[in-house]
Structure 1
Amino acid sequence: MTGSAVAQATALGVVIEIPSPLEASLRDWRRRYGGETAAAVAPHITLVSGSTTNWKTAVEHVRRVAAQCQAFKVSLRGTGTFRPISPVVFLNVLEGAEACGQIHDALVAGPLLHELTYGYHPHLTIAHEVDDAAMDLAQEELKGESMEFMVQSIGLFGLDDTGAWSLREELGLGGPSH
């Protein structure tokens, strides 16, 4: 194409990272039920995942959304699944689900607007695209688990040169973190 540039789409994700020591337990569960590939990705709650052709505009939007949100508590309790629609077993987000939904809605009401195949449902994936026996085991063995933590920031991720997700910026809720 002579005389015109085609903008390249860049993958972008905004997530709630899980604090230590909870992160280590969750990573162990992901390894046990989902294998090393699942454990390689840090446990998180996705707020939005998509792509942008203008990273700067998208980042400015994410910063504005974070600055307008307040810290909130998340409680993870029991398991759920998206089967048979999607091969996923997850921990349920109970307290904090509404706040996650509000942040998600604010993020997609701007340059991150995109079509969702399914409605937004905050959750923490434990097993994904593994055999039914592993998903059944995860769903049964973790059904009584619960944990809670405060969410004071959200992480902005992009793909690095190796194709792995990497943290680009941590954004404190209610303004920049110090």
Structure 2
Amino acid sequence: MGTVTLGVSIAVPEPYGSLLQERRAAFGDPAAHGIPTHVTLLPPTEVDSAALPAVETHLAAVAAAVRPFPMRLSGTGTFRPVSPVVFVQVVEGGAACSWLQQRVRDPEGPLVRELHFPYHPHVTVAHGISEEAMDRAYEELAEYRASWTCASFALYEQGPDAVWRKLNAYAFGGGIATVPAQGSPVDETATTL
């Protein structure tokens, strides 16, 4: 059947998701429009296509064990010089993200994998572009603030065109996922500080 490349992430809701995606594109990041704005829980991971039902069952169980929690973004950070990344910092909700990513990669589950770097929840706004453009991203978003209630995460598949597409959303506590896909109307309260 072959393999698929999957990722699991928390979507940054509107209007923040599109705004940060547009900023990422404006900084010259060619991947900006192929990657919805997110906080990663599972980085790109190749799995056998036949494992998709087990992956979906596993993710539903992980989500059912979690309750919604506050997420807050504030200011910028960077992984340079180790990795050419500038990001918006997760200043509230990071512990919950860390707990979730460990459960997603549970050694007993279908998405077990080692990470190349220690887990650090963040929202990438520039990756692999010129140093000058990364400096600009770091400076121009230094005062950026956003907050919302995180109530779900989603499973994405990377297509042959390198675009990430949502396969399924998993609501916390077994409820209905409330964070809409980017580009759709906001159906929950979200504030900019």
TM-score by length of 1: 0.90
Give the structure 2 partner of residue 51 of structure 1: 46
1:36, distance to aligned residue in structure 2 (A)? 4.5
Matches within 5 A, 1:77-156: 77-109=74-106, 110-156=109-155
C-alpha RMSD over aligned residues: 1.6
For 1:105 and 1:34, the matched residues in 2 are separated by 32
| Contact 2:29–2:128 (8 Å) recurs in 1 | no
Aligned residue pairs: how many? 172
| Contact 1:34–1:126 (8 Å) recurs in 2 | no
For 2:165 and 2:126, the matched residues in 1 are separated by 21
For 1:16 and 1:159, the matched residues in 2 are separated by 16
1:9, distance to aligned residue in structure 2 (A)? 2.9
Larger radius of gyration, structure 1 or 2?
A: 1
Give the structure 2 partner of residue 3 of structure 1: none
| Contact 1:34–1:128 (8 Å) recurs in 2 | no
| Contact 1:38–1:128 (8 Å) recurs in 2 | no
For 1:56 and 1:152, the matched residues in 2 are separated by 22
Give the structure 2 partner of residue 173 of structure 1: 172
Give percent identity, aligned residues only.
Answer: 35
**1:42 is aligned with what amino acid?**
P
| Contact 2:69–2:151 (8 Å) recurs in 1 | yes
Moved more, 163-172 or 113-122: 163-172
**1:21 is aligned with what amino acid?**
P
Moved more, 64-73 or 18-27: 18-27
| Contact 1:71–1:150 (8 Å) recurs in 2 | yes
| Contact 1:13–1:158 (8 Å) recurs in 2 | yes
1:161, distance to aligned residue in structure 2 (A)? 5.8
Question: Structure 2 regions of 5+ residues with no counterpart?
Answer: 178-193
For 1:113 and 1:70, the matched residues in 2 are separated by 23
TM-score by length of 2: 0.83
**1:26 is aligned with what amino acid?**
L
1:27, distance to aligned residue in structure 2 (A)? 1.6
| Contact 2:155–2:167 (8 Å) recurs in 1 | yes
Give the structure 2 partner of residue 4 of structure 1: none
Moved more, 104-113 or 31-40: 31-40
For 2:116 and 2:18, the matched residues in 1 are separated by 31
Change (3 A) 1:116 1:35: closer
| Contact 1:13–1:48 (8 Å) recurs in 2 | yes
**1:101 is aligned with what amino acid?**
S
Q: Match of 1:39, SS? A: helix
